[in-house]
Amino acid sequence: MKGIYKIILLVTLTLGAISCDKVYLDPNSTLEPDVETDTDNLVKLINGIQQRWSAERTGLLYTTVNITGLNTGELQLLNPGNEGENEILLGGDDVSGDNELLGNMWTNAMLCRKEATTVINSAEIASDDTSVSNTLKAHGLFYRALVHGTLIQYFEQVPLEIIDNAPFSDKTTVLQNAISDLNEAKGYIDTGLATEVTTDLIGSVDLENSVNALLARFNLMAGNYLDAIVAADEVDTSIQSTWSFDASIPNPLAFWFGSQNVTQAKDANFALSDDLLPEDGDQRVDFYVYSDDPDAEIPVYEVTAFFDDDLDEIPVYLPGEMTLIKAEAYARTNDLDNAVTQLNLVRNKTAAEDAFDLGAALDDYSGSLDAESILDEIYRNRRIELYLSSLGLEDSRRFDRPGPEDENAERNRNYYPYPNEERDNNTNTPSNPTS
């Protein structure tokens, strides 16, 4: 892993600005002042983490959405000359440790994790004001948890320590680590966030609601269903929390979808099997994809919604995800009445009732009331409601959909090989998964 941290980025103290001229800091540049003893620099570093996560074709937004989309069939590849994307589309043994998308995802996630840990460890050094240091730590903990909870959706194991030859931890351990970080962050948030910190942050990420949303998400993945329900209930779904962009740092997915040279919507089926296709009249279909001629023999679709304009903001989480987390958690604990109640809230929701104007406007669920049928309907709604959220691969495994070695496979890999740059620098890197 040590090789990851020797990367010197070609940037200076000011990388640019998003929303109100916020400034970014790159701690890997030798041109920059000391970070650990300066509150202002730690604030800039938090802005830099947000940018690293969300911007460019190398960031986590682009890589996770495209890896998941090409794996599960949400996206098609327009130009196979994009070798990294083409390997992900082919799946199986065609994906190796030198894949560009996997390398970019891993490297930038590890850099975000390193920077977040710098914020956490330096907060009390930089300020003796408890409110200021706690606010800094809360942001660092949020991003570190986001890194761990995201990477474990793509790799069987992830290292949790920033040391030479760090040991790798399994999914249960990694998710619990992320949940612990989020609970610690929540404790700091509950005491109040210092405006000395928040005033100079980009501000599009609503920290309190995003921490609760990730607690709901990761507890669901970990099988902590009651905790997932509690966390989801604490999210104010009327408030937007987003990754924001401007003319100098555009929405990377909108930019590359618009290029018509990499990936684009595969169809209007949302990677669903024939028995779970979107219902007629589901308004989420037109929200997410558009076709000039949907009645053509082979209609061509384009992604819209949060990926249509370079200035579009991308949600950190969607309100509907919180409702569907509760529906799934109730279903998996055999509280089927409450599961259907939550499911219907998503099915009935209109655009006017959603913070992002995303609504299905469908009637109540009318299928069988057994757990398997209800979970199938929850899965269908997750695929549609959370289209291109990068959650589809984890969902496909968790709902036990047909895998790469099954008939009518709905994903072409379960997990990915570890990037070569990690293997070359960490003797504890596990063997690659077979599928």
No. of helices (H) and no. of strands (E), the chain? 16, 8
H or E element at residue 159:
strand 157-159
Which among 115, 67, 69 is positioned nearest to 87, based on CA atoms? 67
Angstrom distance (rounded) from CA 186 to CA 314 = 23
Class of domain 2-425: mainly alpha
Residue 283 to residues 33, 360, 397, 421: CA-CA distances in angstroms? 51, 5, 27, 44
The residue type of 105 is M
pLDDT value at residue 155: 98
pLDDT value at residue 36: 85
pLDDT value at residue 207: 98
pLDDT value at residue 351: 98
The answer to whether 51 touches 18, Cβ cutoff 8 Å, is yes
Which among 383, 404, 393, 394 is positioned nearest to 269, based on CA atoms? 383
Q: What is the mean pLDDT of each run of 10 residues along the chain (435 residues)?
A: 36 36 54 77 97 97 98 97 98 98 98 97 97 98 98 98 97 98 98 97 98 99 98 98 96 97 97 98 98 91 96 98 99 98 98 98 98 98 98 98 97 98 97 96
Place of tokens 């929701």: 349
The domains of the chain are located at 2-425
Which among 308, 140, 313 is positioned nearest to 241, based on CA atoms? 313
pLDDT value at residue 202: 96
Q: Please provide the DSSP assignment of 293-305 as one string.
A: -TTSSS---EE-G
The torsion of the CA quartet 203, 207, 209, 211, rounded to 10 degrees, works out to 150
SS3 109: helix
Predicted TM-score (pTM) of this structure: 0.93
Q: How far apart are the first and last CA of the chain?
A: 24
The answer to whether 420 touches 98, Cβ cutoff 8 Å, is yes
SS3 397: helix
pLDDT value at residue 35: 84
